[in-house]
Amino acid sequence: MGTISHNNDSSTMQPVNSPVVLLIGIIADTTWRMFIPTIGLTILGVYIDNQLHSMPVATGVGVVLGSILALVLVRKQIRNGGSR
């Protein structure tokens, strides 16, 4: 989080807890929960398909499993009120 000073003394910096900063944090948290599992498992599926010459079986499984995992992580975030 960013900091803001209410006077010229830099040793008394206070954290910024504005709604905008908190919203940006929630958006960033949701973004990694959606994209990391989906993209990561898709890339893993492509790699496995290339190794086993089984296009597009593992890629499809990676997309589906990544999407399910992303859904579970976002639902968990929502149930916890937007926090971890």
**Amino acid of residue 17:** N
pLDDT band at 14 (very low <50, low <70, confident <90, very high): low
The values of phi and psi at residue 70, to 5°, are -60, -45
**Amino acid of residue 25:** G
Question: Quick one: DSSP state of residue 14?
Answer: E
pLDDT tens sequence across 21-61: 888 888 888 999 999 999 999 999 999 999 999 989 999 99
**Cβ(15)–Cβ(1) under 8 Å?**
yes
This prediction's pTM: 0.69
Per the prediction, the chain carries an average pLDDT of 84
